């Protein structure tokens, strides 16, 4: 019998792995792993000089972490926000280790949408000891990252749900276009979270868990992703219709 793939969660900027707990509560019985980048959660900061690093550095650290836990089988990778960018680069660099992908309101490769509200420092409120993201080289990595042909879903926030305050002119359109392009390029359905801002794992954990389980079942069964319209409605989502 083929073992079921583990599920690996990559958090947003400065968020520890425990941020996923509301989602994990809806996934009993499955093997789940959360990744705390250096300086996040209980993981120590990198030692000086701690230079800016592109997404590939985090992707390779994740691979080493899974090696250390003897988890070398293909896994379902779930990335939220900047975690989605790391997941995209991880999938391109380690395609044989990826059984499926779930992108949860993934950051756009260019990263900056709301100037002044976003920071490349991977820590809450711009932790001065956290590692700074090398945004330019990271963007190049994401743009060149070829997605593997694995079951994939993309989730996006509700339009207009930005904090603090309203989005800059055109931000909603830019964000949605980025998610639609990601869904197109990965052959994925795009699910709109009807009651969420950017923090979908916090606002609608049952919806995220439903998407994760759908990809997990597809990956374990060697088939395409199946979504039930009635169940999707129950958990507060609908398919995007451009």
Give the C-alpha distances (Å, rounded to integers) separating 125 from 10, 54, 120, 161. Answer: 19, 20, 11, 21
Residue 1 pLDDT greater than 60, yes or no: no
Scan for tokens 């499926």, then name that residue: 100
Q: Which of 10-19, 48-57, 70-79, 164-173 has the lowest mean pLDDT?
A: 164-173
Give the chain's mean pLDDT. Answer: 90
Share of the chain above pLDDT 90, in %: 68
pTM of the model: 0.94
Mean pLDDT on 127-148: 87
d(CA 33, CA 46): 21
d(CA 160, CA 3): 41
Q: How do the domains of the chain map onto residue ranges?
A: 7-239
Mean pLDDT on 10-27: 94
Nearest Cα to Cα of residue 183 among 117, 103, 79: 103
pLDDT band per the 50, 70, 90 thresholds, residue 130: confident
d(CA 107, CA 89): 13
pLDDT of residue 128: 65
Q: Which residues have C-beta within 8 Å of that of residue 158, sequence separation ≥ 6?
A: 192, 193, 194, 195, 196, 197
pLDDT of residue 113: 74
pLDDT band per the 50, 70, 90 thresholds, residue 2: low
pLDDT tens across 28-84, in order?
999 999 998 888 887 888 888 888 899 999 999 999 999 999 988 999 999 999 999
Give the C-alpha distances (Å, rounded to integers) separating 237 from 1, 68, 196, 227. Answer: 33, 37, 10, 11
Superfamily of domain 7-239: Alpha/Beta hydrolase fold, catalytic domain (3.40.50.1820)
Mean pLDDT on 200-214: 97
Strands of the chain (E only): list them.
7-10, 32-35, 75-80, 98-104, 152-156, 189-193, 237-239
pLDDT of residue 123: 61
pLDDT of residue 76: 98
């Amino acid at each position: 019998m083929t073992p079921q793939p583990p599920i690996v969660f990559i958090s947003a900027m400065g968020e520890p792995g425990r941020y996923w707990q509301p989602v994990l509560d809806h996934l009993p019985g499955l093997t789940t792993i959360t990744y705390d980048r250096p300086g996040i959660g209980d993981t120590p900061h990198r030692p000086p000089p701690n230079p800016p690093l592109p997404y590939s550095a985090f992707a390779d650290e994740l691979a080493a972490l899974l090696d250390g836990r003897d988890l070398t089988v293909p896994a379902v990778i779930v990335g939220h926000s900047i975690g989605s960018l790391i997941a995209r680069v991880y999938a391109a660099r380690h395609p044989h280790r990826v059984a499926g992908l779930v992108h949860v309101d993934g950051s756009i490769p260019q990263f900056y949408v709301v100037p002044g509200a976003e920071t490349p420092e991977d820590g809450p409120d711009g932790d001065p000891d956290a590692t700074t993201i090398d945004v330019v080289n990271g963007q190049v990595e994401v743009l060149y990252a070829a997605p593997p042909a694995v079951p994939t879903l993309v989730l996006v926030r509700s339009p207009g749900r930005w904090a603090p305050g309203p989005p800059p002119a055109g931000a909603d359109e830019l964000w949605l276009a980025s998610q639609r392009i990601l869904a197109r390029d990965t052959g994925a359905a795009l699910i709109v979270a009807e009651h969420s801002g950017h923090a979908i794992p916090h606002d609608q954990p049952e919806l995220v868990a439903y998407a994760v389980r759908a990809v997990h079942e597809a990956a374990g069964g060697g088939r395409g992703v199946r979504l039930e319209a009635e169940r999707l409605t129950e958990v507060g989502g609908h398919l995007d219709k451009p």
